[in-house]
Amino acid sequence: MEANNIGITEKVSASKKLQRADAADLLAKASKMTVSKGKKVQQFDGGKKSTDEAVTAMLGATGNLRAPAIVSGKTLLIGFNEEAFQQALK
């Protein structure tokens, strides 16, 4: 984050397990979302257009929200992919 001059306004400890309902709440507040799992990057709509498929994509194998989870304005970034971060955080 520092390399891109991005300030962190809130951190949530990894010991706090955010699950499906938490993920759905985050997506409801976003207008769009990018989910990265390795090299695979998916785009989803948020807000009233959000789908169950989008919420499922946010979760890892344990059923918890994948990390990192970043809210930047109305954009939600889940997982890490350098290219996706660069595009979303311009």
Residue ranges of the domains in the chain? 2-88
Buried b / exposed e across 39-74, counting CB within 10 Å, b at 16+? Answer: eeeeebebeeebeeebbebbbeeeebbbeebbeeee
Model pLDDT, residue 46: 95
* Amino acid at site 83: E
pLDDT tens per residue across span 33-89: 999 998 899 999 999 999 999 999 999 999 999 989 988 889 999 999 888 888 876
Model pLDDT, residue 47: 94
